[in-house]
Chain A
Amino acid sequence: MKLAFDIALRFLKSSKGQTILIVLGIAIGVSVQIFIGSLITGLQKSLVDKTVGSAPQITVAPQEDGDFILDAQAEIKTIKAANPAEIKSLVAVTQGPAILKTPDQSTTIILRGFEWDDAQGIYKIADRLVKGNLGTNKNEVVIGKDLSENLNVKIDDTLEMITPTGKTGEFLVTGYFDLQVKSLNESWILTNTDTAQTFLETGDGVSQIEMQVNDVFVADEVAMDVEKRLNDETLIVTNWKEENAALLSGLSGQTASSLMIQFFVLISVVLGIASVLAISVVQKSRQIGILKAMGMQNPKASLVFLFQGFLLGILGAFVGIALGIGLSWSFATLVTNPDGTSLVPFYIDWFFIGISAGIAIIASTLAALIPAIRVSKLDPMEVIKNG
């Protein structure tokens, strides 16, 4: 083993040009894999995060419109127990449509009430508040940035709202929020549970229970768990995946195409190594021949070439990781949106990089199998006869 390894190392060192070329070949393959992989994963992560990162991923609501969930706290306990590892940020929401009237115009809005602390998990309201503070007292509300601009409403102004049933109420604006989605900024008015329940006349009932999950991609499975656990036909459980089928099929198409690219890159790397090593068997046939004449066994002679493949794989993988990360970083830094933020966020998945490197090393070693087999068939007589 040790001798085969030493000889392999010495062979690689003695033909530096060839070694550098082949290492570069593997490195470029690995770096392309890492770059494309990171790019696609980063893109998907940011896309999914933008889509559902600050939105409920699973929602439990009454089957019938206009019904309410009466004992929200009990239901929340049941839901949480369905999958304690995945479910997080549970919040009970009381919501309903209303018409907002100002002296010159009126517009339809959705009044949403929840406990500010509970809602922080999903909506990060405290971070999204651009001005003022959250209304914790009765009849205090915060409104969207765009709505405030449209209606020219300022903090400490009083708003008048009318419910579909004709009930009216007056509310004090205590702040503006920016959820970074224009339609929400224009239509949502947020308040505390008490205010919403009183104004919308739901009693102690809430309209729906929202939650997030740790792994957004298993939201559908968790939703099934919740449904089973609740075992209540009057309630309906929805998850973001069924509502975003088009996005998901886009993502999986993207993943498939990136896997295809990575697969073919891998094949070209393997072919490259195999052919260079095959040539090097011819170049080193004198040395192999004399080693065999000296009594080196065939498997050991083959091992010399397997080690070469292995060493080339390791070197190539390391250089490739450096190149790939460099490439991803420059892409994230240099390719930017007009506002200076990067188009695709710089994202490093060490697990993925580890797998890419591992595959490259295994593939390089396997690529050396063909030359290794040729070596084991080499007859020392051939070398000695032909000088």
Chain B
Amino acid sequence: MDNFVVEVKGVSKVYGKTIKTVALHELNLGFKTGSFNAIIGESGSGKSTLLNIIGTLDRPTKGEVIINGVSTRNMSKGRLADLRNETLGFVFQFHYLLPEFTAMENVLMPYRVAHGKADKESQKRAREILNLVGLEKVENNLATNMSGGQQQRTAIARALMNQPKIILADEPTGNLDSQTTDSIYQLFRKINQELGTTFIIITHDRRVAEKADRIVEILDGRISLDIVK
């Protein structure tokens, strides 16, 4: 129990006030530090809701999320923002890059959110990460002047910038072709092995899920399957 980097304790999520829709039913889950986890399930099963709650973007109706051993239940919006900045990296189905900025500037953004100005060291680091994801040639391109795969890899590089303990990815390859999908998952694995970053990835693709250390399937807001390899 001790080396769980993320713990979900009795988390329920109910939408609506008059007509209640229960998205999650008292889930209990723990993710080990440095593990590579896949969450699968049909659309509407509640898996994205779970990921958003883990990412502190959404609050559970009941229960609590413990990140790095600290409960997030009573944290203010400001503290949650700092926690996300320091500990979590997000990769969504859409890249959500800022189109007004270059790839390099987008990667630096989480650092600048925390520190304001990007110093030499952080720039060096951003360049290293861009090398890691294979984008050194387009680092000065505006986000709009890149291919879909390049944009998504920039988003991954951005998620890595602040050396987060956890990367939360919600169908990160949903909009990409199968070849790019493969290269992105190889990249995730490489980061997981080299940096020891914990990955929690939502995916539709069973082939992808099978490569993970652990597969959790969500069905109607409940865990229906939990396989640890």
Contact = CB atoms under 8 A, between A and B. Distances in A.
B118 to A, nearest CB: 9
A295 B96 contact: no
B109 A294 contact: yes
Q: Interface size for chain B: under 10, 10 to 19, 20 to 34, or 35 or more residues?
A: 20 to 34
B57 A290 contact: no
A378 to B, nearest CB: 12
B82 A295 contact: yes
Interface in B82-103: 82-86, 90, 92-94, 96, 98-101
B18 to A, nearest CB: 21
Interface in A124-145: none
B225 interface: no
A297 B81 contact: yes
Nearest to A290: B96
Interface string A285-296: 011011111111
Given A286-B96, A387-B93, A296 B81 contact: yes
Interface residues of A, number: 27
Contacts of B52: 381, 384
A295 B100 contact: no
B78 A297 contact: yes
Nearest to B48: A385
B112 A3 contact: yes
B110 interface: yes
Interface stretch (A8-16, A319-327, A348-356): A8-16
Given A3-B113, A7-B100, 20 more contacts: A2-B112, A2-B117, A3-B112, A7-B98, A11-B100, A14-B99, A287-B98, A287-B99, A287-B100, A290-B96, A293-B55, A293-B84, A294-B85, A294-B158, A295-B86, A296-B81, A297-B78, A297-B82, A384-B57, A387-B94
Interface of A: 1-3, 6-7, 10-11, 13-14, 286-287, 289-298, 300, 380-381, 383-384, 387
Interface of B: 52, 55, 57-58, 77-78, 81-86, 90, 92-94, 96, 98-101, 109-110, 112-114, 116-117, 158
